[in-house]
Structures are given as structure tokens and as C-alpha cells.
Amino acid sequence: MDSQNSIFNLSLKELENFCINNSAKKFNAFQIMKWIYNAKIYDFNSMTNISKPLRECLNLNFNFKMPEIINSSRESGGEGNYSIKYLIKLNDGSAIESVFIDYGKRKTLCVSSQAGCKMLCNFCTTGNFGFQRNLTSEEIISQIILIENELKIKITNVVFMGMGEPLDNLSEVKKALEIISDANFIGIARRKITISTCGIIDKLNEIKDLKYKIAISLNASNNYLRNQIMPINKKYPIEDIVKFISDGKYFGHNKITLEYVLIKDFNDSINNAKELIKLFSPQNVKFNLIPFNKFDIENIGETVNINQKQFENNYERTNETVYNNFQDKLMKAGFVVIIRHSKAQSIYGGCGQLKGSA
Ligand code: SF4
């Protein structure tokens, strides 16, 4: 059995404690983290400002093991833009997906926070595959490091919109974010990090002051519809989301994004748009409309058990005229509304399409 731990799994505080307990100085931890995350040096012996005894001690206790990229598929978005979906194998053999989107100056990585998801939203491929386990902070951070190293680029934006519900794995997500958002380490500013949730209000209250961007996956304009597609709505109905948003004096210029997957003849009528206008204020929220992405039924992997009943729904994509009208209605009421044609859709890396198989 490997007696060493991955160094990527330690927070700054944990590494400080390790240094103090091994007769080194607290600030050595900061120096080591800077070597790893800022200078991308994955060899303790090359850390020239670290004493030899501490380097030896680090070598005995830690390794630089990371998950592995085992597959990728690329989609061109035209005008030099592109997306790449990565299949990443974790050390226990589970698989997750991350999607890199290169769009102008913005290099965004959509990361996973869990292998699978417990939330069972029935329009979502991940939700239809059930839950395997939470990712560790190391496995969350590794997605950024692996893909930056693979593409030799610097990720500018991170969105927690891959597999899993980040607020259902909040302690590991927060631990990872400390390193991701620290200017001395990975250094992605909090305003460029979006945490997307299906609406776990208690946990949202825990992160609301941390200055990350928040997106709530809403997808329906009333409880009757939302109950049919998102089981979480039975615990936290739309009124709770409305209250959370209207209580949020902290938002400032950072409006909450409401994600709304448009499903043909289900939630895409002008009446649905009118209901949204009654519920929310343009001062507090903006909308991302996402035409529904078809499931990748042909290419389902065999490593996970599909929830067949959930998968039998026959959702269809809203047609262009209907979603343009929906957008117009909201915009006339003063909302900022973006139609997000999921990038990476043809490689099944769009919203609600990640499933962790090749
Ligand atoms: S939409 Fe998000 S929260 Fe819902 S099942 Fe899919 S991954 Fe989970």
C-alpha cells in the first residue's frame, strides 16, 4: 500500500501544520504551495528555497500523483473558438468529465465536483446515472492543473457546472477554492469563478458572502413544473429561491444567474416567461436560456447504472422562434437574457450531458 499522500490534497493550513510538526517554519508551507501551484514544479528537490531536511521529509510523506486524462474530444466553434471534453480517470477507477471552452480571451474550464450526482434532475444526463462519490479537493484542483498542462494555457474562468452538485460536496469544494482563488497559487479571481447549484438554499447561505458568482439552475416558472423535473424542488421550492435572491443585499453588481433549460412544450411558453417576470427582479438576476440538449443514448458507457425510468422522458429541444420569443419577453421586462447555445454540444459536453464514460 502507498504510504504517501498526494500533496495536492493539502490545504495551506494543513501543510503549515505539517511543516511545524516537522521542525520547519510555518511560512515554508506557503513557499512549497507557491512552487507547486504558481511555478508548476512537481519535484520537491527542485524547490531551491526549501531546506534539505524538509525536502527529504516531504519526499518521504508526499507524492505528486494526479488523476489521468484518458480520452478527449474536440469540437470547433468557428472563428478560432473550440471546446474539448476530457474524460478523467480517478485513482480508484471512477471517471469524471471536464470541459474546456476557448472563447476569445476567455479560457473557461467546466469542472466536476462529484462522480455522478444525487439530485436526479430528469433532464440531465449526469442526474440519470446516479451517484458514485464526492470528489476530494485534490481531484477538483487536478482538473485545472491537468488541462492547463495538457494545453499549455492558463485557465481564466472556472464554472462548477460539470458532473455533480457542488453544494452537496461543499467542504471539499471550499477547500479546493481556497487554492484556486488565491492569487499566490492558481490565482483565478473569485469574480471569475461560478458555483452553479440546483438550489440547496441552506448551503447557498453558507457561501453567499464568499464573493463567488452564483448560478441557480431554475428550469421552471412554477412549482408544479419544477417538481416534475427537479426533485430538490420538494425540499426548496421556488419561493425559497425567490426569498434567497431578494434577501441578498450582498449581490452588488454580481447578479445571480438563473439557468433555464428550455424544453419544448414543457416550460417554454410566453405564460412561463410571464410567471418568471412576476417572480424575479431585473435588479437581482439575469437569465441564461439553454435550449435542451438531447441525451447521448447511443454512447452510454457500461461503467454506471442508468436510471432507466428517468431516461424514458422524451424531452425535445425548443425551436428557435419559440426561444427567441421567450428571450424577447424577458428582455422587454428589463432582464439581461443570454441564450446559451451550449458549447461542446456535439461532443456531448454541453449542460446536462456529462456522464463520465468514453
Ligand atoms: S442538473 Fe446538476 S444538480 Fe441536477 S442532476 Fe444534473 S448535475 Fe445534478
For residue 163, how far is its CA from the centre of ligand 1 (angstroms)?
Answer: 7
For the chain, the domains span 5-63, 68-347
Query: What long-range pairs does 172-176 form, CB within 8 A, spacing at least 24?
Result: 172/113, 172/134, 172/135, 172/136, 172/137, 172/140, 173/113, 173/137, 173/140, 174/207, 175/11, 175/137, 176/137, 176/138, 176/140, 176/141
Q: Coil, helix or strand for 130?
A: coil
In angstroms, the Cα distances linking 208 to 158, 203, 212, 221 are 17, 9, 8, 23
* Ligand 1 and 291: CB distance under 6 A: no
Q: How confident is the model at residue 251, as a pLDDT?
A: 56
Q: Locate 147 and state its grid cell.
A: 488541462
* Ligand 1 and 337: CB distance under 6 A: no
Q: How confident is the model at residue 1, as a pLDDT?
A: 42
* Ligand 1 and 290: CB distance under 6 A: no
* Ligand 1 and 199: CB distance under 6 A: no
* Ligand 1 and 232: CB distance under 6 A: no
In sequence order, the 6+-apart residues with CB closer than 8 A to the CB of 214 are 194, 195, 196, 197, 204, 207, 208, 254, 256, 257
pTM: 0.91
Active site residue 351: yes
* Ligand 1 and 353: CB distance under 6 A: no
Q: How confident is the model at residue 186, as a pLDDT?
A: 97
Identify the CA nearest to 166 among candidates 141, 212, 197, 128.
197
Query: What long-range pairs does 131-135 form, CB within 8 A, spacing at least 24?
Result: 132/94, 132/304, 132/356, 133/94, 134/164, 134/168, 134/169, 134/172, 135/90, 135/96, 135/164, 135/169, 135/172
Q: Which fold has domain 5-63?
A: DNA polymerase; domain 1 (1.10.150)
Ligand 1, residues 121, 200, 263: which to mutate, most atoms within 8 A of Cβ?
121
For residue 16, how far is its CA from the centre of ligand 1 (angstroms)?
Answer: 36
Q: How confident is the model at residue 303, as a pLDDT?
A: 37
Radius of gyration for the alpha carbons in the chain, expressed in angstroms and rounded = 21
Q: How confident is the model at residue 302, as a pLDDT?
A: 39
Q: Which fold has domain 68-347?
A: TIM Barrel (3.20.20)
* Ligand 1 and 126: CB distance under 6 A: yes
The strand pair at 213-217 and 193-197 is best described as parallel
For residue 334, how far is its CA from the centre of ligand 1 (angstroms)?
Answer: 29
In sequence order, the 6+-apart residues with CB closer than 8 A to the CB of 289 are 260, 262, 323, 326, 327, 337, 338, 339, 340
For residue 249, how far is its CA from the centre of ligand 1 (angstroms)?
Answer: 27
* Ligand 1 and 352: CB distance under 6 A: yes
Beta strands in the chain (DSSP E): 5-6, 62-63, 68-78, 81-89, 95-103, 106-110, 114-116, 131-134, 157-160, 193-197, 213-217, 256-262, 285-291, 337-339
For residue 123, how far is its CA from the centre of ligand 1 (angstroms)?
Answer: 9
Amino acid code (one letter) for 1: M
Q: How confident is the model at residue 357, as a pLDDT?
A: 58
- Cβ(19)–Cβ(54) under 8 Å? yes
**Atom number in ligand 1 closest to CA 124:** 6
Active site residue 121: no
- Reading the chain (358 residues) residue by residue, the pLDDT tens digits are 456 799 999 999 999 999 999 999 999 999 999 999 999 999 999 999 999 999 999 999 999 999 999 999 998 877 778 999 999 999 999 999 999 999 889 999 999 999 999 999 988 887 777 899 999 999 999 999 999 999 999 999 999 999 999 999 999 999 999 999 999 999 999 999 999 999 999 999 999 889 999 999 999 999 999 999 999 999 999 999 999 999 886 555 579 999 999 999 999 999 999 999 999 999 999 999 998 877 654 444 433 344 444 455 678 889 999 999 999 999 999 999 999 876 555 555 555 556 665 4
Q: Coil, helix or strand for 282?
A: coil
| Burial group, residue 299, by CB count within 10 angstroms (0-12, 13-18, 19+) | exposed
Report the nearest-CA residue for atom 5 of ligand 1: 127
Ligand 1, residues 126, 311, 351: which to mutate, most atoms within 8 A of Cβ?
126
Marked catalytic residue, from 16, 75, 97, 172: 97
Q: How confident is the model at residue 301, as a pLDDT?
A: 43
Q: Locate 346 and state its grid cell.
A: 456535439
